[in-house]
Amino acid sequence: MGFVLRTLLGLCLLVALCLGGFRLAADLREVEAAADAAPPDGRLVPTALQGIFAIERGPVDGPPVLLIHGSVGWSGSWRHTLDVLAEQGYRAVAIDLPPMGYSDRDPVGDYGRAASAARILAFTQAAGITPHIVAHSFGAGAAVEAVMQDPTAFASLTIINGALPLAPAATQLPALLRPVWLRETLISATVTNPLASRRLLQAFLYRKEAATDDVLEVLAQPSTLDGATEALAIWLPTLLVPPTDLPSADSTAYAALDLPTAIIWGAEDTTTPLSQGENLHALIPNSTLAVLSDVGHIPMIEDPAAFDAALLAALAAFTP
């Protein structure tokens, strides 16, 4: 019995040392200022709320398309799509929703859906555009909320594998994750840990081989920013506990949505199953649903050709 107890204590100590090592490694790695590390093909756009980092492609007078990333993504994740849209004459713009990417972080750490929707609206006003908004996964919540807050600010809505649970499974954060320091430790061992990035990304993919070195390198770029792990720890509760008191969380509000809407979904998605996309399609009047076969949660990297075709078809239907 004493041997078993000593063994368990030894294992617990080893786990604690490993987690502490990952947290220390994150602190040593996260040293860059956003202003110095931001990629040169983007710019920080001043808005009424805060600076929003954006990457833009295509003619200035083309129909504007605004791309919103998902969890732990950023504007650079859309570069292929930006180029495809630009080639078709669109003014394609991808922005960073903080704390992801190179946008200014919120001074009080409010990264909830309502605050993110306000940032999207503030950006459209600052940029002087009424865009076709295209949003993936977690970003779809903020995009839909922005549309519902002010539908006149957008020309159309495209939802890609949207994380929009209308009956949230969790109403409060698990007790284990309530201490911020513990969330920081877990994030440093997973999300911002280069050793875990490939396996973590593959968990969202049906086509595991899509987690290439190039994709991982792009996703990891903002992870060297000062305080990246801490900021993600503050943001994490907004992912794990979806809001219940906003229009975008109310199924009846979708029935009243009067904006041209397209829904694109990977058939093999296990993160946000296809049934969720079918439910949105049933709720939103006159919406379209394109299902991509042999694709999981991130169709843009799993089957870029099929995704490009579906997105261009949707935008063509919206564009006179």
Helices of type H across the chain:
2-29, 34-37, 79-87, 113-127, 138-149, 180-189, 197-202, 213-220, 228-240, 251-255, 274-283, 299-302, 304-318
Q: Per-residue pLDDT for the chain (320 aa), expressed as one digit of tens each?
A: 565 555 555 555 555 555 567 677 776 788 899 999 999 999 999 999 999 999 999 999 999 999 999 998 999 999 999 999 999 999 999 999 999 999 999 999 999 999 999 999 999 999 999 999 999 999 999 999 999 999 999 999 999 999 998 876 667 788 888 888 889 988 998 888 888 899 999 999 999 999 999 999 999 999 999 999 999 999 999 988 888 889 999 999 999 999 999 999 999 999 999 999 999 999 999 899 999 999 999 999 999 999 999 999 999 999 87
DSSP per residue, 180-224: HHHHHHHHHHTTT-TTTHHHHHHTT-SSGGG--HHHHHHHHGGGG
Q: Please work out, in degrees rounded to the nearest 5, the angle formed at the alpha carbon of residue 308 by the alpha carbons of 127 and 204.
A: 95
Amino acid at 102: Y
**Of 97, 102, 105, 58, whose CA–CA distance to 79 is shortest?**
58
What integer pLDDT is reported at residue 49 of this predicted model? Answer: 94
Rg, the chain, Cα only: 20
Contact 265, 160 (CB under 8 A): yes
List phi, psi (to 5°) of 208: -60, -30
- The predicted pLDDT at position 231 comes to 94
pLDDT of residue 175: 82
* Domains, the chain, with CATH or none: 40-186+229-318 (3.40.50.1820)
pTM value > 0.85: yes
Write down the residue that tokens 């940029």 correspond to: 127
> What pLDDT sits at residue 169?
64
Strands 91-95 and 64-68: parallel
Please say whether the beta carbons of 69 and 77 come within 8 A. yes
Predicted pLDDT at 22: 63
